[in-house]
Structures are given as C-alpha cells and as structure tokens.
C-alpha cells in the first residue's frame, strides 16, 4: 500500500503503520512516499523530524480515535452502491432541506437520519443539505471547527455510514448537498502547519487565513480541490455548499472558486449528472454565479441573507443590528423583485456601501438560495430561538409562502415544516479548558452589536445546550399543542405539491415577478406571472379587489385563518383575515 504526504517543512518524515516505523523518501516537490506490504484498514501516522508523537494524515479518510489520534485507511471503492441509475438532481426548481446530523434525530447518526428520509420526500424536498461532517474535536459540534477535511466524523458513523446515507437518499429520489469549510481550520487538532505552509499571515473571523496565493499555495489549493472532488466522486454527492467564501483571501490570477468550478464542471460532464456549487457569500456580488465566460467565478448559486432579513423583519418587526435597514416593507419588495436589497446601497450595520446589482435580464432567479430560517440565522441568535416562538401559525405559513412560492430556490431548515419549538443553539464540546473559556467569551462578544442580552446566552459547552437543540419528532403528532404543528406540516406539504403542479411558481425569470406593498395596511401582493400570492401581514382584515384574469379566479391555497373569495357579477374580492395569506390563480381560459 502506498503512503504519501506533502510535508516540505520537516527534514525527516517516518511512517508509523500497524505498529512499525518505516522511513519515507522525499521528492523535489516536498512529497514523502513509501510502499508498505499491508492491506485492508490499518492505523497509521507520520513522525515529523524527531517528534515522537505521530501526527494524523492531512488527507486522512478516517480518524477513529479523534483528531489527535492515528489515521485509518479507508477505500471508498469497497462500498456496494445501488444507485447506478441515479442521474442527479439539478438545483433549478428544487427544494433544499438543511439539517444537522447530531440534532436531526435522537441518535444523531447518519443511519438514524436514513429512517427520516421518507418524511423529507413527503414535504417535497429534492436536495438534502448536511452541515459539515468533517472530523472535529469533541463529541458534538456544528461542524465548522473541523480539522480533518477528508474524514467523516466517527460521531456520525464514519465514511461507510456516509455512503449508506447518500445511497439511501438516491434510492428515494433525493440529492445530497454537503456543506464544506475551506476558509479556516478549527482550534483543536490542526497539525497542518507542522507539515507545510498551509496557512499564511492574517486572520478572518474564525482563524488564520488559508494559504491560497503564497509560496507553496499550489499544493494547498490542490488539497481543497481534491477534498471537494472526493465528496462528489467517491461519495456520489450531488453538490457542495461552500462556507463563507468571502473569507477565502485569494489574489491569484484565477480565483480558487473559479478553479473549483472548472474541475467540477469537468467531473459533471464525465459523470453525466448535474453537480452544484452553492456559495455562502456575504459580498452580495453576482460575480459568484456569473458564468466564467462573462467574467464570473461560474458557481451554480449563492445564499441570499437579504431575503431572510427582509422576511424576518416583515413578520417579526425586529429591527436591531443588521435588521435595521430592512424595516420598511419596500425592502421586502426590492428583495423579491431584484434579488439583493443591498446592491450598492448604504448598510448601516457595516457603515459603508455594500453589494452589487444583479443583471436581472440575464440572471435566473433560482441562482439565489433563500430561507426564512437556517442554521446561521437561528443558531447565531442569543438563545438559538426560532421564529415559531413569536409568530402564529398563519404568519409561519406566510414565511413558507414567501420562501416556497417566491421566485428563488427555497431552502427549509430542519423542523420548520412543522413549526418545531426546539431551539438550535450554538454548541461545542471542546475538551480543552482554554477553548471552553474562549468559546463562551467570544460568543458573548458577537452579540454586543445586535443589542441582545448576554444573560440569556446559553453556555455553548454545556451538554444541555446541545441536547435541547435536538428535534422533537413527537410534535408532528396531530394531537400535540392543539394540532398546530400538524396544520403547519400539512400546509408545507400542500405548498410543495403546488410547486410541482404550477409552473409559474418555478419560473426563473425576474421579468415574471411583480410585487406591490402597502405600508399602512401591511399588505404584500406578489405576482408569479398571473398567479397572485397575497399576504396580509397587518392586524386588520384586508380586502383585495382582483382585476384582469384574476376576476373569477380560483383559490389554490390558503392559511389557517381562512381567506376567501367573494364573488359578485363581474367582480371578485379576496378577503384576508389578519396574518392570513392565499394563492389565487387566474380563471381558466375558455
């Protein structure tokens, strides 16, 4: 078996494998190699210079004893796939569902998550997006503190369980999107600097900068590219969510993101299935998804936080911190019709102009992935509280309508489809006392500008913070809480079915979207072609006289409060009780 590692820094590298120590030979590019007569899964590590402690492989596929322990070989080709007929799932028209494996089920494993996949099919999900699964220190974590990028965490079941999960998803017609983090490494178990110049001077929000453009950066970039291709090729994943790409500091002639897009496009062509790259970007810059031929990076899509902020403020009235600019309903109107709210406008939170306009004529609306709830917007609140705490079920259904009947690619967050009452707090399990303190203190400092009370922030290191964030699946019982959860779940299922049967709801043209708002009555009227999505966000009943093809139209879907159509000769009025919403289709053509 060939063992190799890029380690230009040490003068000597030895391999510790299966209890034996073997010398390795170095080439001119800093790669050390040795062929050893072992087979199957074996434990191994690298001894650097005279350090007696073996270090894990930067490309380790397994870390059975944690991030500080020995690596273990794993051959993904040994898995017996059953998805030979799988042709993929494209992002346009799809519904994405974001979940965290540790809190999605009581057991918190990949195999346990398989048992809930049929539920996702029932609510119209097309793509399951997993929070990071890379190896991290401790027993539970969001996954963004990973250090073993190639190793699926043993907490979730390891690489074989990951393959079983992807295979099970494909068997049900579900694609898989994996969230990957390449902008920093976690604070515990990062041994990469011992091997070579993986990091460079400078820091971003979460740690030292990854070396993408300095001396030795070619191999660092190759590590990231190979990690991405591993998930797509070896583990049959259908797309990647690229975490916080604005924190990738790269001054190279060809940006890492463009290089990644080129290689993924080549793999997609070879495998004859769509492979998606979805950026999380704080830049509000369409360069992310603009085609390479037009000077962009050529990614598939990007998250849009502006949509979340506009919906959140419109429904909750919360205007602290970065929510302040989204107070008027016209912010929601702009987001729905132009994609970004901040597209070169002044951001009071950032205290500068922010964003770049989207080319509405040549850009498909599905290139923005939007959510009314996601792991960041819930988990980065002081208590990890959901909007279910402050909104009634009609308002929750309004949020669902804006997300799933709006013009963009909708993403749901685990449990939102039944108005889950459980929080999703920020949690960690760092064994080191100094990291325990630093995490708690850093968490409090993050909330100062948002004006949230630090006294209510749960301790990220306390086990109960993690346990309280686990979904309570019994809430889907029709008898729980007066049937509230079941009614919201039924609405999501009905809305998903509507997306599948009404092509105007997945029309990707900005030209097919029109929106009017009334600040006084809090009325929002959103047209998808000639179909009307009407929302009464106010506290009084609203009457909407319908015109044109909507006269004599059909009520396709309504929220719990019971919107109705009042019809008189030659006139139709949509009556919306407080907080109610409805979807109205034009009258059938003769």
CA–CA dist 503, 499 (Å, integer): 7
- Chain center to CA of 201: 28
User: Mapping DSSP to helix (H, G, I), strand (E, B) and coil, where does residue 503 land?
Assistant: helix
CA–CA dist 329, 398 (Å, integer): 14
- Active-site residue, from 243, 250, 285, 475: 243
Q: Where are the beta strands (DSSP E) in 327-446?
A: 345-347, 352-354, 368-370, 409-413
Q: Is 243 marked active-site?
A: yes
Q: Is 306 marked active-site?
A: no
Residue corresponding to tokens 């409060």: 561
Structure tokens at 235: 């583990």
Burial of 13 (0-12, 13-18, 19+ CB in 10 A): buried
- Active-site residue, from 57, 258, 280, 475: 280
Q: Which has the closest alpha carbon to 31: 55, 9, 47, 49? A: 9
Burial of 184 (0-12, 13-18, 19+ CB in 10 A): buried
For residue 324, how many other CB atoms are within 10 A of its CB? Answer: 14
**439: Cβ–Cβ under 8 A, 6 or more apart, which residues?**
428, 430, 460, 461
CA–CA dist 203, 219 (Å, integer): 20
CA–CA dist 179, 132 (Å, integer): 5
Q: Which has the closest alpha carbon to 371: 398, 328, 400? A: 400
What's 114-159 look like in SS3?
Answer: HCCHHHHHHCCCCEEEECCCEECCCCCCCCCCCCEEEEECCCCCHH
CA–CA dist 7, 4 (Å, integer): 9
Q: Report the catalytic residues.
A: 243, 280
């Amino acid at each position: 078996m060939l063992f190799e590692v890029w380690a230009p820094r040490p003068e000597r590298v030895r391999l510790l494998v299966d209890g034996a120590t073997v010398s390795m030979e170095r080439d001119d590019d800093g790669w050390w190699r040795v062929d050893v007569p072992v087979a199957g899964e074996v434990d191994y590590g690298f001894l650097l210079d005279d350090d007696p402690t073996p270090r894990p492989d930067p490309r380790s596929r397994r870390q059975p004893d944690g991030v500080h322990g020995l690596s273990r070989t794993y051959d993904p080709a040994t898995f017996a796939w059953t998805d030979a007929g799988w042709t993929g799932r494209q992002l346009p028209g799809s519904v994405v569902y974001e979940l965290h494996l540790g809190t999605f089920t009581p057991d918190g494993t990949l195999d346990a998550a398989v048992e809930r996949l049929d539920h996702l099919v029932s609510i119209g999900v097309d793509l399951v997006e997993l929070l990071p699964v890379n190896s991290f220190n401790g027993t539970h974590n969001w996954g963004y503190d990973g250090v073993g990028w190639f190793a699926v965490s043993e907490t979730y079941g390891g690489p074989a369980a990951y393959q079983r999960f992807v295979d099970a998803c494909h068997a049900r017609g579900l694609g898989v999107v994996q969230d990957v983090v390449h902008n920093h490494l976690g604070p515990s178990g990062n041994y990469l600097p011992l091997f070579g110049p993986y990091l460079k001077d400078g820091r971003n929000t979460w740690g030292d900068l990854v070396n993408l453009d300095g001396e030795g950066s070619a191999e660092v970039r190759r590590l990231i590219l190979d990690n991405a291709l591993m998930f797509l090729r070896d583990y049959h994943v259908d797309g990647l969510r690229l975490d916080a790409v604005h924190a990738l500091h790269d001054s190279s002639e060809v940006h890492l993101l463009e290089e990644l897009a080129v290689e993924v496009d080549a793999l997609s062509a070879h495998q004859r299935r769509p492979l998606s790259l979805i950026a999380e970007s704080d830049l509000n810059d369409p360069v992310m998804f603009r085609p390479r031929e037009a000077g962009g990076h050529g990614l598939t899509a990007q998250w849009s936080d502006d949509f979340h902020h506009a919906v959140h403020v419109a429904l909750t009235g919360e205007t602290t911190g970065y929510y302040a600019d989204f107070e008027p309903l016209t912010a929601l109107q702009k987001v729905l019709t132009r994609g970004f709210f901040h597209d070169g406008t002044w951001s009071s939170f950032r205290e500068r102009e922010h964003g770049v306009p989207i080319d509405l004529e040549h850009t498909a609306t599905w290139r923005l992935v939007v959510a009314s709830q996601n792991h960041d917007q819930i988990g980065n609140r002081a208590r990890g509280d959901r909007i279910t705490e402050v909104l009634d079920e009609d308002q929750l259904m309004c949020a669902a309508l804006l997300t799933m009947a709006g013009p963009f690619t909708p993403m749901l967050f685990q449990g939102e489809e039944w108005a889950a009452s459980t929080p999703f707090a920020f949690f960690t399990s760092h064994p080191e006392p100094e990291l325990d303190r630093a995490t708690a203190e850093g968490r409090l400092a993050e909330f100062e500008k948002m004006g949230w009370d630090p006294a209510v922030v749960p301790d990220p290191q306390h086990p109960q913070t993690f346990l309280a964030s686990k979904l309570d699946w019994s809430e889907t019982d029709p008898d729980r809480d007066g049937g509230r959860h079941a009614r919201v779940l039924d609405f999501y299922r009905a809305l998903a079915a509507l997306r599948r049967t009404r092509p105007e709801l997945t029309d990707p043209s900005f030209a097919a979207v029109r929106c009017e708002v009334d600040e006084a009555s809090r009325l929002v009227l959103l047209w998808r072609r000639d179909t009307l999505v009407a929302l009464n966000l106010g506290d009084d009943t609203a009457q909407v006289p319908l015109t044109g093809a909507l006269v004599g139209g059909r009520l396709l879907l309504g929220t719990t409060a019971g919107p109705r159509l009042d019809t008189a000769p030659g006139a139709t009025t949509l009556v919306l009780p407080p907080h109610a919403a409805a979807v109205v289709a034009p009258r059938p053509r003769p």
